[in-house]
């Protein structure tokens, strides 16, 4: 079946279309800097969860407790804090991989599923929609608008599936996560 409009395109197809309208390739880095790069002042759309759901130190502490609970410790490479979007998405990847590994061995993956559910609900699933709203107010290039919208939808869909299976997760951070 042929697509008849841009709105009918899937997320990745829309990203490719949006990227294609970025000109000669210099526009995307400049736009990234305008929207996300901390530079000398706070960016309009920070990529750090704690800058959306303050206080940042409390957010980072809870994120670290999640990481430590699953046997992970940030490497410090890249200079990013634990609440940076890339660190949080990498953690979700580790949880999904752990879940798949347990399932492949015939073991119960519930602990990884609950960890993923709780982490999404309290961290990226909580602040990515806030970042998306801030981004929309900045009138970004289509590529970044589509990318953040796709991330927001993926997190929401993953959380909805996990909550359908295991019940609702608390949306507020907890100080009682085991370390």
Distance CA 150, CA 161 (A): 16
pTM: 0.83
From the list 98, 92, 121, 94, the residue with the least C-alpha distance to 111 is: 98
**Beta bridge mates, 48:** 84
Q: Encode the chain (179 residues) as per-residue pLDDT tens digits.
A: 333 344 445 555 555 555 555 456 789 999 999 999 887 688 999 999 999 987 889 999 999 999 999 999 877 666 778 999 999 999 999 999 999 999 999 999 999 999 999 999 999 999 999 999 999 999 999 999 999 999 999 999 999 999 999 999 888 766 554 44
Give the start-to-end residue ranges of the domains of the chain.
Answer: 9-166
The CATH number fitting domain 9-166, selected from 3.30.160, 3.90.1520, 1.20.272, 1.10.3480: 1.10.3480
């Amino acid at each position: 079946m042929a697509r008849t409009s841009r709105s009918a395109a899937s997320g990745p197809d829309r990203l490719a279309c949006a990227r294609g309208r970025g000109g000669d390739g210099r526009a995307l880095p400049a736009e990234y800097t305008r929207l996300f790069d901390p530079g000398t002042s706070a960016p309009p759309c920070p990529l750090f969860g704690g800058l959306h759901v303050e206080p940042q130190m409390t957010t980072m502490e809870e994120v670290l407790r999640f990481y430590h609970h699953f046997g992970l410790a940030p490497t410090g490479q890249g200079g990013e804090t634990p609440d940076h979007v890339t660190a949080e998405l990498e953690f979700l990847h580790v949880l999904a991989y752990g879940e798949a590994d347990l399932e492949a061995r015939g073991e119960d993956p519930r602990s990884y599923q609950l960890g993923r559910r709780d982490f999404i609900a309290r961290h990226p699933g909580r602040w990515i929609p806030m970042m998306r709203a801030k981004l929309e107010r900045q009138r970004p290039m289509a590529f970044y608008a589509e990318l953040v919208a796709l991330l927001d939808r993926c997190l929401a869909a993953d959380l909805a599936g996990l909550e359908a299976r295991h019940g609702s997760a608390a949306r507020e951070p907890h100080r009682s996560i085991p370390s």
